[in-house]
Every structure is written in structure tokens, then in C-alpha cells.
């Protein structure tokens, strides 16, 4: 009979191996996903002038990505369950890489709308698919760190984009291409390579790998089974049941507000910061890179701290308060230095919030609800990323300033914080959160 210490050693070894074999590959793919989603914010510095796009046109095109993502989220996750994570995630990554590079050919508003919508369709299902995939590898006591270690790709993508985009825009005229066309081409095609790596190396489940010992496979299986038993019977594992589930709906509302606030600001951050600080595009790129470094550090610390505290939602709440204050500060037209400090506070928290709340999906939903439930949450969340950027663009064209939009985003962030506290209280009161064993 294995001793308790032996079980601890087996679990520690299994999680270490899974982390090293899986997380770098997923993080690389997500780095290109996030970059290809928001690199349009840097391209817009030149593209909007070249193509005569107003803030309304740009806002609608920026948001259509999220509409395409939302409409195809659940079908994509159902396909992932049918075909397996390796094949379906690889298909997603290769598709979005090709489409992102294809953005270089856009010349009209309609072409911009269609390409952004198709990019969202291509990427649909990636993030909730990864959350579902992790639920078959990492027990809850390790899942926050696992999610934070792949989600770190989001701030890292800001570091890469901030340093690379200004240089790519400076290639304006090379080979008869505009700088923004070079940006889409160079930042899009590597996603295809990442997809081929996933197709070759990502394992579908612990049962099929040779690098885990039999005791390590048994430990993972037993831990996941114990957690599933503690969650009780699911409310239902079909699409209609997911949309009737109160936990799914509340988490969706949080996700809607997170997407509305964070995605809207990030899609226009370079132009907002240029207006607020008077800095040129190159220096704004370095500022975005600095924000990415800070965001990566905060996210890793938040993931680890939330695992040890067993309370993801309280950490997310305090991050949301900081986020709201930073947007208020930028919106009130502070000094250039005040805007820089406020942006860095935004960057420090904007990546941690969705990481923490989405890590909580698997805490709140039974494993048999999770594939469809996570997709349902992300589907409803994406509508925030579609509707708000369009309204933001209309407000900018109407007022000539980003200030009113920033104040509204700050108020929406406070609403999100209130919902996060409400979910935390409900889970604690109803004992919905499973008992988590001490992290190994």
C-alpha cells in the first residue's frame, strides 16, 4: 500500500511532467491567438488613415471578431469533444494564423468587417476548449497555476507587440507594402507554425502518453474522480441545460463585462495613450511592452495566491477595483505621467481578472457540464466584446474624445466587481466550491 508521502510524491511528479509537456505549447499558441486578435490596435495607427476608417467603422470591425467568436463557440467546443483536443485545437490555430495574415489585403470597410468576423469564427472555442482540456489533466488545487501559466501568453503578447509593432510599421513602403500590411503578415503566419506543433506534440489525455508512469496516471484519474464526486450530479450537460444553469448565467454576466471593458480599451489603447500622453507610436509601443511585463508578473502571482487561498473570486474583485480606478484616471484627462501610471495599473490587472474568473468555471461546474458550460459562458461573454467597441467608436466620433467612453468603462468595471463578490458569496453559502486538498 502506497504511503501518504508516496502519494504526494506521485502527484507532485505527475503535475510537474504535465506542466512542462503541455503548458509551454498551449501558451505559445495562445500568444499568437491574442496577438492576432488585438494587433489591429497597432495597425489602426496607420490603417485607419490610409483606408479612411472612422472610429465607428473601426469599432464595428474590431467588435465583429467577438460576434464571430460567440456564434461559433459552442459548436467548436462540441467538435473538440468529438475529434479530440490535439486535432481540433490545431485546426483552430492554423485557421486564425492564415486569416490574420490575410488582413493585409483589406481595402474597404466591408472587407474589414468580413475578415474580422471570420477571424473570430476561426478562433472560436480555443479558450474554453483549453479550460475543458485542462480539467482532464489538472486537479482544482493545481488548475489556477496551470491556467495562469498558459494565460501568461496574453501579457507576453503585449510585450512582443509593443516592441515589434513599431518596427513593422516603420517598414512602410518596403516591397510596396504599407507598414500595417507588414504587421499583419509577420504577426499572423507564425500562428500556422504553432498549429503544426500542436498537431504533432499535444496529447489528448493522460491515458495515451508514455511519459507518465502508471501510478501517476492513476493519481490524476483518482483526483479528478474525487472532485467530480464532490460536485454532485450535474444539472445537465446539453446546450439548453447550460443556458438555464444560474451559475453559467452569472459567470457569463461577469465575462460579458470583462470583455466589454478590457477588450474595448485594448483595441484602442495605442491611440488613447497617444492622445493622453502626446508620445509617438514607437514610445507607446514600449509603454505597452512594459505593461505586459507587469501584467505577466501580477498574473503569475495571482494564480499562485488564489490556489493557496482557495479563493479566486476575492483576488479577482480587488483587481477589478484597481482596473476601474485606472480607467477613471485616464478618462479624467490627467497629466501625461498620470496617464502612464494609470495605464500600467490597468495592464497589471487586466490579464489577471479573466484568468482568475475563468479558472473558477471548473470550480463551479461539474466536469460533465464543463465542455458545454464553458463554451456557453464564453459565448455570452463575447457579446460584450462585440457591442461595446462599436458604442465606443460612435461615442468617440460624436464627442471627439475618449473621455466619456473611459468613464463608462470604469462604471462597468465596478458592476463587474459587484457581481464577482455576489458569485463568491453564493458559492460559499451553498458550499458550491469543492473542498480543495492542500496544493502539492
Residue 400 class from Cβ within 10 Å (0-12 exposed, 13-18 middle, 19+ buried)? exposed
Least confidently predicted of 181-190, 210-219, 314-323, 369-378: 369-378
pLDDT of 344 > 80? The answer is yes
User: What residues have CB less than 8 Å from 9, skipping those under 6 apart?
Assistant: none
Which range (15-24, 90-99, 122-131) has the least confidence? 122-131
pLDDT tens-place string over residues 357-388: 887 776 667 666 666 777 778 788 888 888 89
**Cα-based torsion angle of the residue sequence 333, 338, 339, 342 in order, rounded to the nearest 10 degrees:** -120
Q: Structural domains in the chain?
A: 4-429 (1.20.1250.20)
Q: Report how far residue 90's alpha carbon sits from residue 3's, in angstroms, rounded to the nearest whole number.
A: 40
Q: Is 426 exposed, middle or buried (0-12, 13-18, 19+ CB in 10 A)?
A: middle
Closest CA to 134 of 206, 74, 219, 69: 206
One DSSP character per residue, 75-144 reads HHHHHHHHH-HHHHHHHHHHHHHHHHHHGGG--SHHHHHHHHHHHHHHHTTHHHHHHHHHTTT--HHHHH
User: Is the CA virtual torsion 87, 147, 410, 417 positive or negative?
Assistant: positive
Determine the Cα angle at 281 with ends 276 and 287, to 5°.
70
For residues 15 and 132, which has the higher predicted lDDT (pLDDT)?
15
> In this structure, what are the phi and psi dihedrals at residue 138, rounded to the nearest 5 degrees?
-115, 120
Q: What is the DSSP letter of 261?
A: I
> Does residue 1 surpass a pLDDT of 80?
no
**In the chain, % of residues over pLDDT 70:** 90
Q: At what angle do helices 281-309 and 264-277 cross, to 10 degrees?
A: 130
Amino acid at each position: 500500500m502506497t504511503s501518504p508521502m508516496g502519494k504526494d510524491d506521485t502527484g507532485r511528479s505527475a503535475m510537474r511532467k504535465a506542466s512542462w509537456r503541455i503548458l509551454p505549447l498551449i501558451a505559445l499558441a495562445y500568444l499568437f491567438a491574442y496577438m492576432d486578435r488585438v494587433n489591429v490596435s497597432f495597425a489602426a495607427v496607420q490603417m485607419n488613415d490610409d483606408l479612411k476608417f472612422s472610429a465607428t467603422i473601426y469599432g464595428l470591425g474590431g467588435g465583429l471578431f467577438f460576434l464571430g467568436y460567440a456564434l461559433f463557440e459552442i459548436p467548436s467546443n462540441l467538435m473538440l469533444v468529438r475529434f479530440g483536443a490535439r486535432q481540433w485545437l490545431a485546426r483552430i490555430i492554423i485557421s486564425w494564423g492564415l486569416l490574420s495574415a490575410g488582413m493585409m489585403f483589406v481595402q474597404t470597410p466591408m472587407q474589414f468587417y468580413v475578415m474580422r468576423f471570420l477571424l473570430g469564427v476561426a478562433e472560436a472555442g480555443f479558450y474554453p476548449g483549453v479550460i475543458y482540456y485542462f480539467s482532464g489533466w489538472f486537479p482544482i488545487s493545481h488548475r489556477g497555476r496551470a491556467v495562469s501559466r498558459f494565460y501568461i501568453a496574453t501579457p507576453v503578447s503585449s510585450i512582443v507587440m509593443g516592441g515589434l509593432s513599431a518596427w513593422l510599421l516603420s517598414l512602410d513602403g518596403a516591397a510596396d507594402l504599407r507598414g500595417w500590411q507588414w504587421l499583419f503578415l509577420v504577426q499572423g503566419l507564425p500562428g500556422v507554425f504553432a498549429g503544426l506543433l500542436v498537431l504533432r506534440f499535444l496529447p489528448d489525455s493522460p491515458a495515451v502518453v508514455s511519459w507518465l508512469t502508471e501510478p501517476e496516471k492513476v493519481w490524476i484519474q483518482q483526483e479528478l474522480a474525487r472532485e467530480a464526486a464532490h460536485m454532485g450530479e450535474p444539472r445537465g450537460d446539453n446546450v439548453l441545460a447550460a443556458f438555464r444553469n444560474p451559475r453559467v448565467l452569472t459567470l457569463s454576466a461577469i465575462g460579458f463585462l470583462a470583455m466589454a471593458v478590457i477588450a474595448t480599451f485594448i483595441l484602442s489603447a495605442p491611440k488613447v495613450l497617444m492622445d493622453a500622453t502626446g508620445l509617438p507610436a514607437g514610445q507607446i509601443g514600449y509603454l505597452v511592452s512594459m505593461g505586459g511585463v507587469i501584467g505577466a508578473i501580477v498574473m503569475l502571482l495571482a494564480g499562485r495566491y488564489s490556489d493557496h487561498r482557495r479563493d479566486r473570486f476575492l483576488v479577482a474583485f480587488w483587481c477589478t477595483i484597481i482596473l476601474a480606478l485606472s480607467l477613471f484616471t485616464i478618462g479624467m484627462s490627467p497629466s501625461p505621467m498620470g496617464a502612464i501610471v494609470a495605464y500600467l495599473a490597468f495592464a497589471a490587472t487586466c490579464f489577471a481578472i479573466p484568468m482568475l474568473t475563468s479558472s473558477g468555471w471548473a470550480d463551479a461546474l461539474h466536469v460533465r457540464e464543463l465542455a458545454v458550460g464553458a463554451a456557453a459562458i464564453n459565448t455570452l461573454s463575447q457579446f460584450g466584446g462585440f457591442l461595446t467597441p462599436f458604442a465606443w467608436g460612435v461615442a468617440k466620433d460624436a464627442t471627439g474624445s475618449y473621455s466619456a467612453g473611459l468613464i463608462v468603462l470604469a462604471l462597468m468595471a465596478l458592476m463587474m466587481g459587484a457581481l464577482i463578490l455576489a458569485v463568491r458569496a453564493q458559492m460559499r453559502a451553498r458550499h458550491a466550491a469543492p473542498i480543495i486538498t492542500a496544493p502539492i
